[in-house]
């Protein structure tokens, strides 16, 4: 059973110093205050629904979102709202140690995959652990995807140049 709690009073209230009994604090974590619906706590992302558009990183006032996108050369499917995915996330880090909980990143996210959860109790002994890593791509896989994207870009460029040179070749052949 929870101990009797003191009535919440402001310090200017006449009876503030007359409350001798009851607890003024919570027995956390056994007792917890309700979290407001609009509260802003830890960020979480559903990576399957992220289109790696970078909008969240661009709007972040403190630059604590770090994304590396790689162009996909294959079909990588759609998000749950039907948006076509064209980019891989080789890196998607959010440094919650720098985050000021403004929520702007969640507002601009077009697929609503980036949200502020009501989880407020996450503590670490090493500050580096406040950098949340969301991308699941290995270093090797990212290198392969980068190489495939670069090769596809080169092939596209070569095809474009060939197409641009074609009329002049034809012209030369007619003379």
Judged by CB under 6 A, does residue 76 bind ligand SF4? no
Task: Candidates 2-10, 11-19, 53-61, 153-161: pick the segment binding ligand SF4 (CB under 6 A).
Answer: 53-61
Q: How far is the CB of 56 from ligand SF4 (least distance, A)?
A: 3
Q: How far is the CB of 53 from ligand SF4 (least distance, A)?
A: 4
Contacts of 126 (CB under 8 A, 6+ apart): none
Identified binder of ligand SF4 from the candidate list 42, 111, 118, 131, rule CB under 6 A: 111
In contact, 111 and 83? CB cutoff 8 Å: yes
The strands making up 65-71's β-sheet, listed across from edge to edge, are 65-71, 87-95, 131-133
Judged by CB under 6 A, does residue 70 bind ligand SF4? no
x/- letters, 137..166, toward ligand SF4 (CB under 6 A): ------------------------------
**Cβ burial 116-140 (10 Å sphere, 16+ → b, else e):** beeeeeeeeeeeeebebebbebeee
Identified binder of ligand SF4 from the candidate list 44, 103, 142, 148, rule CB under 6 A: 103
Q: Is the dihedral of CA 162, 168, 171, 172 positive or negative?
A: negative
Strand pairing of 87-95 and 65-71? antiparallel
Judged by CB under 6 A, does residue 115 bind ligand SF4? no
Task: Candidates 15-23, 57-65, 154-162, 165-173: pick the segment binding ligand SF4 (CB under 6 A).
Answer: 57-65
Q: How far is the CB of 18 from ligand SF4 (least distance, A)?
A: 42
Identified binder of ligand SF4 from the candidate list 3, 78, 81, 101, rule CB under 6 A: 101
Query: Largest Cα–Cα distance of the chain, in whole Å?
Result: 107
Q: Which residues pair with 69 in a beta bridge?
A: 89
Q: Is the dihedral of CA 14, 20, 25, 30 positive or negative?
A: negative
Rule CB under 6 A: which residues touch ligand SF4?
45, 50-56, 59-62, 64-65, 67, 94, 99-105, 108-111, 113-114
């Amino acid at each position: 059973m929870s101990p009797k709690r003191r009535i919440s009073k402001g310090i200017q209230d006449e009876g503030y110093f007359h409350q001798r009994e009851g607890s003024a604090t919570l027995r956390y974590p056994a007792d917890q205050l309700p979290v407001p619906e609009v509260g802003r706590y830890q960020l979480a992302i559903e990576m399957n629904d992220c289109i790696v558009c970078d909008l969240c990183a661009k709007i972040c006032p403190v630059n604590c979102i770090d994304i590396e996108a790689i162009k996909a050369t294959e079909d990588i499917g759609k998000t749950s709202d039907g948006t076509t995915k064209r980019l891989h996330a080789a890196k998607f880090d959010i440094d919650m140690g720098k985050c000021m909980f403004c929520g702007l990143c969640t507002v601009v996210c077009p697929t609503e995959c980036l949200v502020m959860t009501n989880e407020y109790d996450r503590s670490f002994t090493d500050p580096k652990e406040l950098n949340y890593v969301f991308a699941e791509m290995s270093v090797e896989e990212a290198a392969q995807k980068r190489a495939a994207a670069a090769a596809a870009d080169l092939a596209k460029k070569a095809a474009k140049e060939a197409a641009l040179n074609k009329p002049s070749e034809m012209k030369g052949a007619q003379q």
